[in-house]
Amino acid sequence: MRRRRAAVAAGFCASFLLGSVLNVLFAPGSEPPRPGQSPGPSPAPGPGRRGGRGELARQIRARYEEVQRYSRGGPGPGAGRPERRRLMDLAPGGPGLQRPRPPRARPLPDGAPGWPPAPGPGSPGPGPRLGCAALRNVSGAQYLGSGYTKAVYRVRLPGGAAVALKAVDFSGHDLGSCVREFGARRGCYRLAAHKLLKEMVLLERLRHPNVLQLYGYCYQDSEDIPDTLTTITELGAPVEMIQLLQTSWEDRFRICLSLGRLLHHLAHSPLGSVTLLDFRPRQFVLVDGELKVTDLDDARVEETPCTGNADCILEFPARNFTLPCSAQGWCEAMNEKRNLYNAYRFFFTYLLPHSAPPSLRPLLDSIVNATGELSWGVDETLAQLEKVLHLYRSGQYLQNSTAGSQAEYQRLPDSAISQEDYRCWPSYHHGGCLLSVFNLAEAVDICENHAQCQAFVVTNQTTWTGRQLVFFKTGWSHVVPDPSKTTYVRASG
């Protein structure tokens, strides 16, 4: 029965969002709160098991003021330690989590006023910011998942571009627990929506190549709640650690370098030092091989206030760190160090050292060890990651590593080998041995170190560092013409 209900809900999602059924138009008079604008009176909460009108209004006000601080562009006074709360498992189909239904749009007359840009300077991409009109007649609707507060969908715009839509999950834990406590559905929606609004503001204020792009937003009527907020963002692929461990070291290093650049930006952002309280792989996505943070509703700008070092304990499941309390009464670099240690325990320790070029491993080990001990800050960590990139991209890591090869190979231009593959790890091709090389000498050295290798085919494809992709083969009995490739076969004798 549960499977049948899920299928019906999924069908409703698709039928609603596909074709002409979806007609999301503007809701006049709705816009994100601007600096100095009051959030307005909160709907009166109904009878709940705990709490009441005053407590719900206080929480809405607190979240509204947080959004206001970020909109104005600077951190406010310290707000104490980050709140401690358990985040739900984001996996769809988890206990008590049902696939949410997209909101029902209330058609409005054409010519309704458009929305102003989201808070912050300019637009994240070329062209005007997307609004409700961009969501008319979308296709290819797909539910991607839900978290503590939000649901995410993938849709294709009429022009063909695929984007992600984020909205408050009406079946989610955040809204549901609030309604159970306060009995006020509309007030609880406003409480949850301020987290989505906060994320929208931060995506705009923290614009960076490793921060997901905000394309626009839309207000619309949904179920029994008017003016619900949907954000339109860049679409990325989820970070699957098991899959990443099977990719090439070069691609894994790119992810770690992306993360290092992101953490440097967060530590020196226009808002101050930003920490990600919910820092896990699922809070990031991959866009064309680059790692980007997508979930910012649990980001925090304020540093932790203190009266002594005992107030500056950075706690993690495996170990704790004590940071110094500054003369100004703030824990020094706590936001930065929290991000850095999480990068170590979720990314660097798994992705950096394994299957790396041997000459780079000592430097990579020092990066992993220093971030694991928090002996470096983000500036030094990024400097060392950029050093690794320079050594790898320039070929300097190959010094003395290929000098001893005496093998001779015959060059066969405009040709390839159609079969005779073997598998190696890590490879860019699961059915064969496809690796990147800096030059021909490195390709020869790899072939000499693979017992099966008798030939290799140099392609005209390159990786993100500009290195050429090369197929390594067990023989050359199936040579075929190919003007985009060059084959090298081991000389007999």
- Per-residue model confidence (pLDDT) at position 260: 98
Do 381 and 484 fall into the same domain? no
Q: Is the pLDDT of residue 68 over 70?
A: yes
Of the candidates 104, 100, 96, 220, which has an alpha carbon nearest to the alpha carbon of residue 150? 100
Check if the beta carbon of residue 334 is closer than 8 Å to that of residue 304: yes
Q: Is the pLDDT of residue 66 over 70?
A: yes
CATH of the domain at 424: 3.50.4.10
- Per-residue model confidence (pLDDT) at position 159: 83
In this structure, is residue 58 part of a structural domain? no
pLDDT in tens, 355-368: 899 999 999 999 99
Using the 3D structure, point to which of 363, 398, 433 is the last residue of a domain.
398
Using the 3D structure, point to which of 219, 235, 251 is the last residue of a domain.
235
- Per-residue model confidence (pLDDT) at position 128: 58
Q: Is the pLDDT of residue 36 over 70?
A: no
Q: What is the mean pLDDT of the chain?
A: 79
In this structure, is residue 98 part of a structural domain? no
**Which tokens hold the place of 368?**
């992993």
pLDDT in tens, 218-277: 988 776 788 889 999 999 999 999 989 889 999 999 999 999 999 999 999 999 999 999
Do 294 and 181 fall into the same domain? no
- Per-residue model confidence (pLDDT) at position 403: 54
Do 318 and 354 fall into the same domain? yes
Contacting residues for 417 by C-beta, under 8 A, at least 6 apart: 455, 457, 471, 473, 475, 476, 478, 479, 480, 487
pLDDT band at 404 (very low <50, low <70, confident <90, very high): low
Do 414 and 363 fall into the same domain? no
Of the candidates 256, 242, 247, which has an alpha carbon nearest to the alpha carbon of residue 427? 247
- Range with top average pLDDT, 37-51, 78-92, 169-183: 169-183
Do 285 and 333 fall into the same domain? yes
Using the 3D structure, point to which of 398, 426, 461 is the last residue of a domain.
398
Average pLDDT over residues 286-302: 93
Query: Of the ranges 166-170, 243-247, 399-403, which one carries the lowest mean pLDDT score?
Result: 399-403
In this structure, is residue 56 part of a structural domain? no
Catalytic residue among 251, 278, 311, 482: 278
Q: Is the pLDDT of residue 2 over 60?
A: no
Do 267 and 230 fall into the same domain? no
In this structure, is residue 2 part of a structural domain? no
Do 223 and 278 fall into the same domain? no
482 included as an active-site residue: no
In this structure, is residue 464 part of a structural domain? yes
In this structure, is residue 309 part of a structural domain? yes
Do 271 and 377 fall into the same domain? yes
Query: Of the ranges 47-51, 120-124, 328-332, 478-482, which one carries the lowest mean pLDDT score?
Result: 120-124
Q: How many domains does the chain have?
A: 3
- How far, CA to CA in Å, does 121 sit from each of 73, 233, 301? 10, 17, 19
Helices 334-343, 361-373: axis angle to 10 degrees equals 130
Query: Of the ranges 6-10, 147-151, 316-320, which one carries the lowest mean pLDDT score?
Result: 6-10
Do 453 and 383 fall into the same domain? no
Q: In angstroms, rounded to a whole number, what is the distance separating the alpha carbons of residues 124 and 73?
A: 17
In this structure, is residue 3 part of a structural domain? no
In this structure, is residue 327 part of a structural domain? yes
Do 356 and 219 fall into the same domain? no
CATH of the domain at 222: 3.30.200.20
CATH of the domain at 352: 1.10.510.10
Whole-model pTM: value is 0.78
Do 425 and 386 fall into the same domain? no
Do 323 and 263 fall into the same domain? yes
- Per-residue model confidence (pLDDT) at position 405: 59
| N-to-C CA span, the chain | 71
**Range(s) of the domain holding residue 167:** 132-235
Q: Is the pLDDT of residue 385 over 70?
A: yes
